[in-house]
A and B are shown apart, each in its own frame.
Chain A
Amino acid sequence: MRGGALLAALAAVAALAAAPPLLGEYRTTLLLPVFGYGVALLGLNLLFGYGGLVSFGHAMFVAAGAYAAAVVTGVWRIESFEAVLLAAAAAGLALALPVGALCARYTKIFFGMLTLAFGMLFHSFLFKFYGLTGGDQGMRVRRPTLLGLEFEELDKTAFLVGPYYWYCLAVAALLALLMWRIVRSPFGLALRAQRDNPRKAEYLGVEVRRTRFVAFLVSAAFGAVGGAMLAVPTGLADPELAYWTHSGTLVFMTLLGGFAHFAGPLLGALAYVLLQDWLMSLTPYWRLLLGAVLALIVLACPQGLMGLPALLRARLAARRRRAAAPHPAPAE
């Protein structure tokens, strides 16, 4: 089982690493956001899937990472992408400390509302403080160096579909490995225990609120690092990144992939990016279709794509049982 997971992960990384020459420039560009979103969603799902806390404000951390990238490369003129990623993580943590301290006291609907509210608070800060943040214009993110290499000979697209693509793949793989460790640690177990039954968890010595708070911090750091990775291809950090509908989209992506599985958020990032691209090519009213897809998942396939095989198997088994049974079987 464990060996199987490791093998699948290695195969996925190898396939993605080999993809750019096969896919060509356009499709490779399309894949770039998958890494940034994948990292951000791994963080989101620590709260959602493992902690049972649905954040409708996670986009604020993605935005914080993007703005950190803009400040580091544009204002401080530090070009190292490693420095950008560290600064993004620090920015995410700095924002999550006060927000998490307040939000970790709540669960369920209240948690969702509060995170939404704080996300919008951050959005309005980005939007209104023109002098600091560029207001609705946002801030430019300059092209970073990777491991000290400038890749001067490459134009922007060649840089993005070449070195930047592989760099982001590596970062995403490493962070996925880190998250894999975290969810399989005593802390990860405590997080799942408080999700299932907070009272029982407390009587078994789990510091429920502290656990939620730490998960919130980790999730924010992942969100911000993902945000910085997303901001380089677009070259822009703008306030819309923090808007609550973007947070909703992040939750949607996680659900699409499957929140109950470790790899769900990664698959969700990939599936969403492809789905959105396809729907946008069909109609200007792609949100309508996207909304319909979301409604369908919520109603018919809440375990997302990762849960699809099990769902189909169950359906098939039920049909076979019905066909085999001469009389209608009683409800379980």
Chain B
Amino acid sequence: MAALIEVLAAGLFHAAVLFLVAAGLQLVFGVQRILNLACGSFYALGAYLGVTAGGLALGAGLSPLLALPLLVLAGAAVAALGPPVERLLRLVYDRDESFQLLLTFALVLMFQDLIRMGWGSQPQQVEGVYLAYGQVQLGAARIPVWNLLVLAAAIAIAGGLGLFLQRTDFGRILRATAENRRMAASLGVDTGRVYAAVFTLGTALGGIGGALVVPAAAAVPEKAVELVVEAFAVVVIGGLGSMPGALAGAAIVGLLRAGALLVWPELELLAVYAVVVAVLLLRPAGLFGRPAA
């Protein structure tokens, strides 16, 4: 029982982070119709910015308990890359999807080395934060408070994102643009501005996801390409472009991985992809996706 609760907690922590990355991926796909292979690169950059900011702040005597807001800010700083990268992608909006995909792959290659240039290849972590927050006792199970905070932060961001998309004018404009680019443009929507904003938001989400992990797990350059694989599983299961899909997909993948690690570690990713295949066979558009026309 205790083991089960611990696995559940670990799975939800993982799911929370995955959701942030996948939400960014879904936003950008939903509006721009571009599948961003570099989403993992933004995640890794967020992680390294978190390492640097965390190291500096803690070195300057900041209380580790302030790490959460600090890391969220550090991760969100990746958003600065959003506008220039979007500017580059804009050159291929009307090109074949394969070229869009390849351009984001070029970004993956470049960011991989930029990260190496900035931070080297050694694993890096923010020390001390994870322990400072301690653990809570739930029956016989011990759950790190940090994990719960990250989960809460992800839920808050998900809620905020939902409100933003449903209730604000800009959210409505964004959804309208996703629905019909040309129609939105003819109604006077500045689609260029919407694209830049959406891409920047997506970048920030990925960055925050990366930054929130560094107290718990070390940042390594390889994470940039590893994460893409899980994020893709999330969006395939949930349905491309769907926000509720990102939420459900992230929960499924996060919990499945944690569960597989407990039962049969070899099956980790295999279990995730078994579900991907099952979803594709039964609901090709994903759990929350609209079937392709």
Which residues of A line the B interface, CB within 8 A?
Answer: 48, 54, 56, 102, 105-106, 108-110, 112-114, 116-118, 120-121, 124-125, 128-129, 243-245, 248, 251-252, 255, 285-288, 290-292, 294-295, 298-299, 302
B273 at interface by CB-CB < 8 Å: yes
Nearest-Cβ distance from residue A263 to partner chain B, whole angstroms: 20
User: How many of chain B's residues touch chain A, expressed as a range?
Assistant: 35 or more
Cα–Cα, bound, A124→B274 (Å): 12
The DSSP consensus for interface residues of chain A is helix
Q: Which chain B residues (269-293) contact chain A, with CB distance < 8 Å?
A: 269-270, 273, 276-277, 280-281, 284, 292
Residues on the B chain within 8 Å of A255, using CB: 102
Residues on the B chain within 8 Å of A128, using CB: 265-270
Cα–Cα, bound, A80→B159 (Å): 62
Cα–Cα, bound, A290→B102 (Å): 12
Instruction: Assess the B273–A118 pair: CB atoms within 8 A.
Output: yes
Cα–Cα, bound, A124→B107 (Å): 24
Instruction: Assess the B92–A102 pair: CB atoms within 8 A.
Output: no
Q: Which chain B residues (77-136) contact chain A, with CB distance < 8 Å?
A: 88, 91-92, 95, 97-99, 101-103, 105-114, 116-117
Partner of B105, one of A102, A121, A294: A294
Instruction: Assess the B109–A112 pair: CB atoms within 8 A.
Output: no
Instruction: Assess the B113–A112 pair: CB atoms within 8 A.
Output: no
Instruction: Assess the A125–B236 pair: CB atoms within 8 A.
Output: no
Which residues of B line the A interface, CB within 8 A?
Answer: 35, 37, 88, 91-92, 95, 97-99, 101-103, 105-114, 116-117, 225, 228-229, 232-233, 235-236, 240, 265-270, 273, 276-277, 280-281, 284, 292
**In the complex, what residue of chain B is closest to A105 when comparing beta carbons?**
B284
Cα–Cα, bound, A298→B96 (Å): 11
Given A102-B277, A299-B91, are A113 and B236 neighbors across the interface (CB < 8 Å)? yes
Partner of A292, one of B110, B233, B266: B110
Nearest-Cβ distance from residue A307 to partner chain B, whole angstroms: 13
Instruction: Assess the A117–B106 pair: CB atoms within 8 A.
Output: no
**In the complex, what residue of chain A is closest to B269 when comparing beta carbons?**
A124
Instruction: Assess the A294–B106 pair: CB atoms within 8 A.
Output: yes
Instruction: Assess the B236–A291 pair: CB atoms within 8 A.
Output: no
Q: Which of A102, A106, A118, A244 has its CB near the most chain B CB atoms (within 10 A)?
A: A244
Cα–Cα, bound, A248→B98 (Å): 11
Instruction: Assess the B99–A109 pair: CB atoms within 8 A.
Output: no
Instruction: Assess the B108–A245 pair: CB atoms within 8 A.
Output: yes
Instruction: Assess the B236–A124 pair: CB atoms within 8 A.
Output: no
Instruction: Assess the B97–A108 pair: CB atoms within 8 A.
Output: yes
Instruction: Assess the B112–A287 pair: CB atoms within 8 A.
Output: yes
Residues on the A chain within 8 Å of B270, using CB: 121, 124-125, 128
Nearest-Cβ distance from residue B250 to partner chain A, whole angstroms: 16
Instruction: Assess the A120–B229 pair: CB atoms within 8 A.
Output: yes
Nearest-Cβ distance from residue A249 to partner chain B, whole angstroms: 9
Cα–Cα, bound, A54→B35 (Å): 13
